[in-house]
Structure formats: C-alpha cells, structure tokens
Amino acid sequence: MKIKLKPIIILALGMAALSFSFIQTWQHYDLEIPRIWTTKALKDWELPNANPAFTVEPVSEEFYYALPERVIYKTYPVYHPDYEPEGYWEWLHEQDAQIVFDPAQLKTEADWIKAGELLFDYPIDTLGAVISAKHVRSKEFYTASGMPITPDGIMPFVQWVVAGKGKVYLGNLSCAMCHTRVMPDGSTIKGAQGNWSGDKAFAYGLESNGASEGDVQAITRFLFSSPWAAGDPHGKLLASGKEEIIAAYKAVPEGAFGRQGTSILYPPQAPNLIGVKDRKYLDHGGLSQHRSIEDMMRYIAMNQSLDFLNFYGDYNPIGLTKQELNNGKPIIFPGTYDRHSEAQLLAIAKYVYSLTPPENPNKPSALSEKGKIIFAEQGCVTCHTPPLFTNNKLTPADGFAIPDAHYSKYNIFDISVGTDPGYTMNTRRGTGYYKVPSLLGLWYRGPFLHDASLAKLEDLFDSARLKDDYVPTGFKPHNVKTKAVPGHEFGIDLTKADKGALIAYLLTL
C-alpha cells in the first residue's frame, strides 16, 4: 500500500488557481458542455440515505471547481511477466509523456465517443491504491489473486501511465478496471459486469506489503464505515482484527466489488454498463437519479473518489471535519485532489451510452419460446418489463418504511422482493431500496442478485437456497459456512422442465 494512511494531506492551493484557466479552454465548442456541479443540480439528484440523518452532502460547487483538472497521458498495456515482450520495460522508460485528451480535436460524435473510450481506460490513481507496480511484475501475484489475463498475456485491468521520461506509474482505478469482463475463452467485453478479482488482489497487497493492523483498519474504515447503521456492522468488522478483515476482502467473489461507500460485508454486484443509458437510477439502491446525460456526468464525477470527501451528517469517511474541508485545504487521497473536466466527463458519458452488447450466441428455440410464455405467466413482466426488461422502479427492502414524500418524487413499486437488506440499510450508498435490474445480457453476466450471492441462474430458481444450511454459490460472508439466500422467490416452485425453459429464454435476452 502506498496510500499514506495518516489522512489529511495537504496540497498546494496554487493548483486550484491553475484550474480556472483550464475551465475556459473548452468554452468555444459548438457542443454545449454542461456545468454539472451546481448547488441547484446537486440538491435533489441523490436519494436520501436509508437513515435520512446521514444523507449524502457532497462537496460544494466552489470546492469542486477549485480542484485542478485531470491531465490524461498515453497509457501502455501491462503484461503478465511470462508474456512481457523483451525490452518492453526499458522501452517504456524511454518514452516521453503524451497528453492524449484534447477537446479541440473532437469534431464529431464519433470523435467524442472514441475519446470517451480512452478516458474510460484511463487510470485515475498512480499511487498504487489497489495494485502496485511491484505486484503486476511478479508471477506470484497472479497465482495468489487469481487475476485473469487475456490470451496475449495482458492484464487488462491496469495500465502503465507514462508521465515523462522514466516516470512510469502503475495506473489503478480506470473505469475499465472494474467494468471489463474477461470471458471463459479469454475475449473481453468492455462495459460488461466486470470480473477482475479486485478484493482478492487488494487483500494480497495488504498481506504482502505487511500492512499493520492499524493500516488495515484505517483503509477499511475509509472505504466502508457507516457508524450510524444499526449495530454498526463495520465497527464490528474493524474490531475483529486484521486477519478477519483480510478474510472479508477475500470473500468478495469476481463479479462483485467492495467499491468505496459500499461494503465488503455486503459487496455490490458489479453492474453491466451496456444499456445503462436507459436506466433511471444508478447503483443497486438507486442512490443517484439518472434523468439526463448530466446526471451520468455527475455520477462519474462523484464516484471517481470524490465521495471520500462527502459528509454523511457530521461523518466524513477519511476523518475530515467540515471546517478542514472548507478551509481551502485540498486533500491528496487517491483520486480526490483532481477532477475530470466537464468535456472529459461528457466524453466518458457518451462512450458509456454508446456501448452495445456482444452478439448473443443463444438463439430463440422452441424451448426458449416456451420459457417466454412462462415469463409472462409468472408475472416477471410486471417488474422486468420488455423491451428494457426492467420497469425502472425502486422496490423497498425488508425493514425500510417508505417516507410519504417519496411516492411523488421517485418511481416506486411498493413490494419488497425480500432479498438481503444489508447493502441498502447499512452502507453509505444505501437508500432503503433495491432497483429492479434489467435482464438484458444475462448470458454474459453473473454472479446474480445485488450482492452477487448466486453464481448461476439455476441457483436463483433452486428452493434449497431458502434454507439456512445452503452454501451460497456466489458471495458468502467470510465468517459463515452456510447461509440462506432469501427473497425473490418468483418462479422457484416451477417444475424442473419449466425452469429449464425459463432459463433458456432468459439466456436469449
């Protein structure tokens, strides 16, 4: 871990002054580039926390625009040591920095999308926030973390950033890191439910760097603590000691990721970004409304680590007080000290909107046609309504009482499907709801449900999962051997043949 674990980290205010000159640079474009971080727009963009006293309070407009803009350098692939071309490492160190994002060059929609892809692949952290340079160049890292690589031996989740001759950094936390799927044949699908073994790699980093108990506690607190949650589950985790905490990271399966503000106790399934343009709420709890491309830009701005600077009541994840934050003392914490320009955010959003699914190898058949009828008969269509296969509504989790004011503000379907309420009741991103997910592209996704607890679609329709002696096939908390995966019992009582037909249909979507 290269992260400095003693927080509050000081940075020259001069950088902030610099940023104002950048802001001017894109203003001559024909394309209208919205100003997204305004007090007005932020006011009702996000839903309240499940416990409304701890609702997100993001950094102010003034603070946001004082942050310097990101400079985007050319990046280079990272190879597994057995595949690295001879002399590659030395060659990298001879390269000059190349700045690759220049909005002046973007003349067409296609140019913007292409630039957006480049930004999607661009790591925002070069401090070794998750994986370090030393690790990716050692074979042991790959065996210990189970990190997938492509047939060319490329590890597609991180990149080398060249910031000047001899300044070669391992870049972490690109969008592609968590939103790329390596398929069983080694091909990759960008934007699909990511499946890098992120939390296992993180655990490996903590162990192999000899992180102290205090360090492991601190980083875990920054990432996940939500001390207001009933019973303070994260406080209990922190108190359980280094080995237990590391075991909790290791328990997160590929296809889920303990993103900041969520939890390794209730890890969110990595969402499929293909088709996200049509979704009305973002994150499993629907925390962020998605009413326009500006909302998507805000989402990207917020979740590239800016959320470490949020307040939840008086609580700030990295231990800041409101006074410290607003005293004009910017913070160096991976990704929080700079921001994407609005042109950059727009390009990323356009790229994400442009993602299309790979060709589905599962063609409609007599069996899937039978499944289509069952899908309608079982009432799946009420919530997973074609053509999006979601009604874009929020369903309350067990234990959440919907405030009256929400009915007119949000799109609510007032039925709990009874799945595990932990993520949405106990995390910083929790709203008390789970959104109805789209079923498009199920064939290249998994594990399933918001907590990635079920590896296969078959498991969703297996009644054995409702009993306490069940061994979840996907995420299973580190400290239990067996556990029921409750809720969403739709279709669970069908005959074996009907389940087969239903699944055949689901795989064609």
Q: Residue numbers of the site for ligand HEC (CB under 6 A)?
A: 173, 175, 177-179, 257, 259, 262, 268-271, 273, 276, 279, 282-284, 299-300, 304, 348, 352, 375, 378-380, 382-384, 395, 415, 417, 419, 429, 434, 436-437, 439, 442, 448-450, 457, 460, 488, 490-491, 502
| Nearer to ligand HEC (CB atom), residue 7 or residue 396 | 396
16-37 in b/e burial notation, b at 16+ Cβ within 10 A? beebeeeeeebeeeeeebeebb
Contact 71, 99 (CB under 8 A): yes
CB of 58 to ligand HEC, least distance (A): 16
Handedness of CA 81, 86, 87, 93 (dihedral sign): negative
**Phi, psi at 158, each rounded to 5°:** -130, 165
Element (H, E) at 368: helix 366-377
CA–CA dist 83, 187 (Å, integer): 17
Q: Phi, psi at residue 239, to the nearest 5°? A: -75, -10
Closest CB to ligand HEC among residues 316, 395? 395
CA distance 233 to 265: 8
CB of 229 to ligand HEC, least distance (A): 15
Nearer to ligand HEC, 162 or 347 (CB): 347
Name the minimum Å distance from CB 429 to ligand HEC.
5
Nearest distance from residue 257's CB to ligand HEC, in Å? 4
How many Cα atoms within 13 Å fall on the side-chain side of residue 172? 21
Tell me how crowded residue 386 is: count the other CB atoms within 10 A of its CB: 14
Pick 97 or 494: Cβ nearer ligand HEC: 494
Query: Which residue, 25 or 382, has its beta carbon nearer to ligand HEC?
Result: 382
Reduce the DSSP state of residue 312 to 3 states and report it: strand
Minimal distance, residue 177 CB to ligand HEC, in Å: 5
Q: Least Å distance between CB 141 and ligand HEC?
A: 18
Is the CB of 95 or the CB of 386 nearer to ligand HEC?
386
Q: Which is nearer to ligand HEC, 83 or 353 (CB)?
A: 353
DSSP assignments along 26-60, one per residue = TTT-SS-------HHHHHTTBPPPSSGGG-EEPPP
| Shortest Å, Cβ 354 to ligand HEC | 12
